[in-house]
Amino acid sequence: MKERVRVLVVDDSALMRKLIPMILERDPDIEVVGTAMDGSFALRKIAELQPDIVTLDLEMPRMDGLETLRMIMRGAPLPVIVFSTHSKEGAYSTFKALALGAIDFVAKPRNAAAGNLEPVALQLAEKIKVAKRAGGRKSIPKPVLEAPPSSNKRSRPAIPPNRVIAIGISTGGPNALQYLLTQFPADFPATFVVVQHMPEGFTDMFARRLDECCALDVHEAKSGDLLIAGRVLICPGNRHMMVRRMPRGEMVVLSDTPPINGHRPSADVLFHSVAQEFGLTSVGIIMTGMGEDGAEGIGAIKAAGGMTIAQSEETCVVAGMPRAAMMKGFVQKVVPLDTLGAHLISQYGSDRSGSDKQDSSEKSDKGEKVPVPTPRA
Helix or strand (DSSP H, E) at 34: strand 30-36
Helix (H, G, I), strand (E, B) or coil at 362: helix
Of 58, 84, 239, 217, the closest CA to residue 150 belongs to 217
- Residue 334 amino acid letter: V
C-alpha 360/C-alpha 241 separation (Å) is 31
Is-contact 56 65, C-beta < 8 A? yes
DSSP state of 215: S
At how many degrees (to 10) do helices 173-181 and 88-100 cross? 80
Angstrom distances, CA of residue 294 to CA of 105, 179, 231, 269, 371: 21, 21, 22, 8, 19
The catalytic residues are 170, 197, 293
Is-contact 317 134, C-beta < 8 A? yes
Rg of the chain (C-alpha set): 21
Of 312, 292, 203, 295, the closest CA to residue 284 belongs to 295
